Amino acid sequence: MIEHEEASDAGQRPGRPWYLWDILLFGGFAFVYALLFASVWLGGYIHGLRNEDPLISAFRFCWLVPVMLAWLLVLAVRMAISWPRHVRGVRRLAILYLLVSVGLLVWLAVPFLDLWPTPHAMFMRGFKGYVRASVDVESTRQWLSTVELARYGGEAAWASDRVEWPPWIKALEPGYVQVLPDESGRPMMRMSWGGPFGHWGLVVGDEAMETPPSDFSRYGEVRETIAPGVYVWYELQ
């Protein structure tokens, strides 16, 4: 049986339930935990639309991790000290511990289940929107038709060091740009953005060029087609 706090004087209304703080603590933790992951997912999509590093959101909210750990510690202390004082019976107390612990573990595991897109997938959705709005694919193809592959040799060419890159490519400010042959020997352009924690990019080639299958191994690339001969990619870390 779970008791309520007794009124201090006879005839007064009963006091607040002793477990009120536990409800507030558990509810607040569940809300902040859900808000954290929702912010990372939504942030990934927004950063993709802006062509920004998706880890910005993770770093922005990382301060919440120690806060939530401290929150869990307070909950554990409340369960260990307060609950035995108010819950009659060892069996009832054990069942209550079990139900709350299982519920908490399930809630902690929910964001990692395959029930919705991963943050990487949300970033790719946003990045595809950025490409559709910002990249002049047809002009890039026309420029590629004038390129002599032997001139570049398939080596990475840094955009800042190549004055001959088209202005619409320079405006995108890629980390580097490569002109490479596709599987049929036709020129294609590979653009990349990112830093030490991961890279992503875009490949533009002939309309007949097929998107290579994704490589889900470490440092592999997840690739998604936007249009015939155009696909985006994201490096797995």
Strand runs labelled E in 97-229: 156-157, 176-181, 187-195, 198-204, 221-227
The domain ranges of the chain are 20-112, 135-235
Of the candidate ranges 19-28, 198-207, 226-235, the one whose mean pLDDT is the lowest? 19-28
Look at 203 and 162; give whichever has higher pLDDT: 203
pLDDT in tens, 66-79: 888 888 888 888 88
pLDDT at 220 over 70: yes
CB 25 within 8 A of CB 101: no
- Whole-structure pTM value: 0.75
203 CA to centre of own chain: 22
How many CA within 13 A on the CB side of residue 154?
A: 5
Residue-level pLDDT at 161? 54
CB 133 within 8 A of CB 168: no
pLDDT in tens, 101-141: 899 899 889 888 878 788 888 999 999 999 999 999 999 99
Output the CA angle 47-51-52, nearest 5 degrees. 55
Place of tokens 């998107």: 211
pLDDT at 10 over 50: no
Output the CA angle 221-223-225, nearest 5 degrees. 165
Average pLDDT over residues 96-104: 91
**Cβ neighbour number for residue 33 with a 10 Å cutoff:** 19
At residue 105, φ and ψ (nearest 5 deg) are -65, -40
Look at 184 and 61; give whichever has higher pLDDT: 184
Residue-level pLDDT at 131? 95
